[in-house]
Homo-oligomer: A and B are copies of this chain.
Amino acid sequence: MEGQILIYDTTLRDGTQGEQISFSAEEKLRIAQRLAELGVHYIEGGWPGSNPKDMRFFQMAKDLRLGATRLTAFGSTKKPGIAPEHDPNLTALLEAGVRTLTIFGKSWDLHITEILGISPEENLAMIAESISYLTSRDKEVIFDAEHFFDGYKANPGYSLETIVAALSGGAHSIVLCDTNGGSLVGEVTRIVEEVRNSFPGASLGIHTHNDGGLAVANTLAAVEAGATMVQGTINGYGERCGNADLTSVIPNLLLKMGKKCLDNSKLTLLTEVSRYVSDVANIPPLNERPFVGRSAFAHKGGVHVSAIAKKPPAYEHIEPGMVGNKRRVLVSDLSGKSNIEYKANEMGIRLGGNGYGSREIVKEIKRLEDLGYQFDAAEGSLELLMKKTTGQFEEPFSLLSLRVINEKDKGGQTSSQATIKISVGNEEEITAAEGNGPVNAIDNALRKALRKFYPAISEMRLVDFKVRVLEGSAGTAAKVRVLIESRDGKDIWNTVGVSQNIIEASWQALVDSIYFKLSKDLSKGHPPDIR
């Protein structure tokens, strides 16, 4: 499309080079699904030749419905002295079963002669032959010119020859990489312009790293200079200081530079995608992250707050809702009230019961969030809280006692047992169960005790269980937050628990999850709590 900038996401490949970033194949599938919903044009799924996990991902990914988004596999050019059809890396790339393949090659002579120890001519042949082999198999091939900017600065003639080689092999796009991340904006502008002048018809891309704190700026500069494909990662995850952060690049392109990239209506998903990826990575989201961070539109000074009440642009560079983010006023949160009214309406809850209106509920939520609860990630618990405070909830069961025993013997064998006593109406039930760990044992015991009263709970299962330590500095005495995701045939819901004791926090989230299921089944017809 004319003027279109293609967004190429490499969170699942280059992003996992980040120090603490690691995704299972299943997590990669879920992230890919979200990225496709956001509408990125390419998702680089992994390097199938480098490890079995990535190969497994590509096998499972065949069942994903990604719409117009293309999944790509990444790998290196063939090794020297071997025919492309016998090269194990190229073979693995073809086995990934995707239509688009990205291969990287060296474009800095330092790497070729001093590290690979091959001749410059051999390197050019490796690039051309690898690409021509893949294009002959009807693949779209993207060539990542590794270290292009450093290479160009050292020996512009040779680095341009690597592009000639890639194009001669039939590469569809040439991506110029600032692999070491140390280039300045002016250098990127100049070099992209010069490459563009040398190859006027070629489709150019940009791949930057943040070692100088300039990854986003360099990406935008390359687009200004003519690049039409942008590689980056969600939250800027990546090796060392990370890659270009797509959560900054995309809104800058769309809102500031007026470029076409994503569908404008999809931009509102950006904050959610950013937080989802950090949740899956189990890395606390960066509050100060531009556009999508929790503090990105948070106002502290009183002058700022009153100015914003008159004119939001006074202290906001964009309208926060455009990227799915929210304004926060750190002193008095009046916007909370209308949120609650909106949610109550959505959930079919009448406010005002028990004397609780939206104002009191906001106060209660703020109190609980101060203690570490997080209701934006646990709407199941939020709904229960609103029902409880307004007198629209009756406990389906009560806990009488609970005991969990964990034992570990000399041989290293571990076991967990839970004993539970509950009451339902006038009846009591005591039972016990084992589990893989203390929380699993409680979960099993609780379901066993409840089944005869509420057979429907066998329809539900817990699909996700997350633990976050809230205050690092307290060591093992720190407070923990447990988030549980549950599902039955129809709905998905999330619940939360907080305590210094992980058993107690898990108990709260488990009980909320079961309460939610039972309460939902009773009040059929209200819209499901789906995210």
Contacts and interface: CB of A to CB of B under 8 A. Distances in A.
Interface of A: 16-20, 22, 24, 26-27, 50-51, 110-111, 114-115, 150, 179-182, 184-186, 210-214, 216-218, 220-221, 224, 236, 239-242, 245, 248-249, 252, 256-257, 282, 284, 286-291, 293-301, 304, 307, 310-311, 313-318, 330, 332-334, 374, 376-377, 398-410, 414, 416, 435-440, 442-443, 461-473, 475-478, 480, 484-485, 499-504, 506-507, 510
A478 B318 CA distance: 39
A212 B51 contact: no
Contact of A402 (B213, B248, B407): B407
A221 B213 CA distance: 13
A437 B476 contact: yes
A183 to B, nearest CB: 8
B480 A461 contact: no
Nearest to A20: B377
23 contacts: A17-B334, A18-B295, A19-B287, A20-B374, A26-B472, A110-B311, A110-B313, A110-B314, A180-B313, A180-B315, A180-B316, A182-B256, A184-B256, A185-B217, A210-B290, A211-B317, A212-B290, A403-B405, A414-B501, A436-B476, A436-B477, A438-B438, A467-B480
- Say what secondary structure dominates the interface of chain A: mixed
Nearest to A330: B19
A230 B36 CA distance: 41
Contacts of A316: 180
Taken together, the copies of this chain in the complex come to 2
Given A414-B501, A500-B437, A248 B115 contact: no
A288, A314, A478, A504: which has the most chain B beta carbons within 10 Å?
Answer: A288
B472 A296 contact: no
A398 B408 CA distance: 12
Contact of A438 (B252, B472, B502): B502
A437 B501 contact: yes
Contact of A334 (B50, B435, B478, B485): B50
Given A111-B307, A402-B408, A464-B469, A240 B297 contact: yes
A485 B469 CA distance: 12
B115 A311 contact: yes
Contact of A414 (B16, B435, B462, B503): B503
The 3 residue pairs across chains A and B that have the minimum distance between CB atoms: A182-B317, A462-B475, A217-B217
A117 to B, nearest CB: 9
B502 A439 contact: yes
Contacts of A216: 212-214, 217
B311 A114 contact: yes
A463 B469 contact: no
Contacts of A416: 501, 503
Contacts of A330: 19
Contact of A184 (B210, B257, B461, B500): B257
A252 B213 contact: yes
Contacts of A297: 240
A489 B37 CA distance: 50
Given A287-B19, A480-B467, A406 B403 contact: yes
A28 to B, nearest CB: 12
A212 to B, nearest CB: 6
Contacts of A408: 399, 401-403, 503-504, 507
B476 A443 contact: yes
B399 A440 contact: no
A381 to B, nearest CB: 15
Contacts of A218: 217
